[in-house]
Chains A and B, each alone.
Chain A
Amino acid sequence: MTSSMNPAIVATDLRKSYGDKVVLNGIDLMITEGTIFALLGPNGAGKTTTVQILSTLIDADGGNARVFGHDLTREPDAVRALIGVTGQFSAVDNLLTGRENLILMADLCHLDRAAGRRRIADLLDQFDLTEAAGKPVSTYSGGMRRRLDLAMTLVGEPRVIFLDEPTTGLDPRSRRAMWHIIRALAAEGVTILLTTQYLEEADQLADRVAFLDHGRLIAEGTPRELKRLIPGGHVVLQFADQEGLDSAARTFGAATRDDAALTLQVPSDGGVGSLRSLLDQLDRASISVAGLSVHTPDLDDVFLTLTGQPDTRASRPDHERAPAR
């Protein structure tokens, strides 16, 4: 991460409604150049709409935004020259081969022929697509398609990249590969705004995270800052019998006990040092433990605490505006 403090994206009070459904209800964003910013939220929270507005695809009803100082509505072409977008739905030409798709981008970015071919060869190599380059995209797997999609976005060497749910629908291995690529891009100084509904993804990648819920930002900060918003982690000790639980409860005063499950929940930061001292204490008191699990707070806990809606992600219908298929 290069941490110059130049703002790459500044948005103020963005608003958008479709009919009487308010999708964005006043969003402010400040994204520093060269950082990864994650917009996190359930389906229908307004993530895609935010990306569509910031990438000049649709107009906001209110508010304004700038990308490297260029106003979105007054200088859309200046903004377009700086950005790259990889949307939720693959933006590749299915009737062409992978290489032809990249050539199309190189031509539209007005690269000269030699520079274009070099760039394409590099990208095919970097994204592990050299072998499949001559095959029609319609034969590609989901992961390959997503990699090609991102490679196409990168042909013009954009300074800001919007990634709308870049790993949704990918298998774990392809997801790891995508994370690797995203980190490498940020390391080169590219500014990245990514949306995700996976809290782990935001935790893994982002320098800063904003939670979006019902068209509003409900919290923003580094993953560490956000995790501090809720009570810390703990260790759960599992006992074989009531006796063990009783003596352990006496040993650790500030603990929550569950008699039915024979568990004791002891506050802890989950670090090796504190675990060792915890085990030492158990040893000294000659208490035998049947099992132990460490729970550190993750962004999931933060999100659920902030929204107070434990089941929103699973059960809310998809209101996000998606391109018609």
Chain B
Amino acid sequence: MSTLSLAVRDSSTMLRRNLLHMRRYPSMTFLLIGIPIIILLLFVYVFGGTLGAGLGPSGDRSQYANYVTPGILLITVVSAAQGTAISVAMDMTEGIIARFRTMSIFRPSVLTGHVLGSLVQTMLSLAAVTVVALLVGFRPTANPVEWLAAIGVLAMITFALTWLSVALGLVSDSVETASNLPMPLILLPFLGSGFVPTDSMPTAVRWFADYQPFTPVMETLRGLLLGTGIGANGIIAIVWCAVITVGCFLWAKALYNRNRTA
């Protein structure tokens, strides 16, 4: 069997394993979907009136629901990534990982199984959160092609952050650490253009907000879904996602190979 077909076969076996875990223990999935939905409701119904007014002369709660949804979608991705870090860290404490290491299989398949499983889980979470957003007033103007592109952008950032969280799960010496390490990520949509436009921020914060990876992703999503200008953000988002994916894949792989004694 060639390396590639071995990789595909073993990764899909491991994906099935992870999907079984999720199906059998859905509480984690529900928890991870719950966080972005609560933040969405909070920002639309509690802060939405005031924040909407800040968007411009005609700004109101319904306009804010449109504005905040791309940020909420990224919160969804981050929340799911936290779940991935936890499940990877938990998995590494299981004796079965030592068994996998002594089997003649595609070595990173344990990790690719987690990544693909998380990708599926995150896309389902995103669909659920999008439905709630539509219910609270999100009114996208996207045509089918733009929808597909938006899904592609979300899949891309999910893939990148999932590899990051797999690495964080591997580097953690306990499940608690794995749960805490991805926490700062949830702040990034706030410290970007997710909840308010960056030009309302003080200079130093704005500088960070403009140049961190989440902002171009959110601006690209906003452009695709709501027809605002995308500019260079699309390309910047793709580059960021590619860099994070490759870097974190290599990091995770090195960590997995290093931890050989378990």
Contact = CB atoms under 8 A, between A and B. Distances in A.
Interface stretch (B16-24, B33-41, B68-76, B125-133): B16-24
Interface string A82-109: 0101010111111110001000100111
Nearest to A81: B104
A87 B101 CA distance: 12
B178 to A, nearest CB: 14
B261 A89 contact: no
| Of listed B9, B95, B105, residue having the most chain A CB within 10 A | B95
Interface residues of A, number: 35
A58 B102 contact: no
B102 A104 contact: no
Contacts, number: 77
B9 A85 contact: no
A199 interface: no
A19 interface: no
B95 A108 contact: no
B96 A85 contact: no
A91 B98 contact: yes
Interface in B51-87: none
B102 A80 contact: yes
Nearest to B21: A95
A64 B252 CA distance: 29
A58 B95 contact: no
Given A81-B104, A108-B105, A87 B95 contact: yes
B262 A56 contact: no
Interface string B1-34: 1000000011001001100110011000000000
B260 A57 contact: yes
Interface string A54-87: 0111110000000000000000011011010101
B135 interface: no
B145 interface: no
B94 A94 contact: yes
Contacts of A104: 13, 16-17
Contacts of B180: none
A323 B260 contact: no
Contacts of B21: 95-96
Contact of A58 (B20, B96, B105, B261): B261
Nearest to B106: A108
Contacts of B9: 107, 110
B102 A56 contact: yes
B104 A323 contact: no
A154 interface: no
Contacts of A96: 17, 20-21, 24
Given A77-B104, A96-B17, A108-B13, A323 B1 contact: no
Interface of B: 1, 9-10, 13, 16-17, 20-21, 24-25, 93-96, 98-105, 173, 260-262
Given A57-B260, A92-B95, A324-B173, 8 more contacts: A77-B104, A80-B102, A91-B94, A95-B25, A104-B16, A107-B9, A323-B261, A324-B262
Interface of A: 52, 55-59, 77-78, 80-81, 83, 85, 87, 89-96, 100, 104, 107-110, 136, 152-153, 156, 321, 323-325
5 contacts: A87-B99, A104-B16, A108-B105, A153-B99, A324-B262
**What 9 pairs between A and B have smallest CB-CB spacing?**
A91-B99, A80-B104, A81-B104, A91-B95, A107-B13, A323-B262, A89-B95, A85-B102, A55-B102
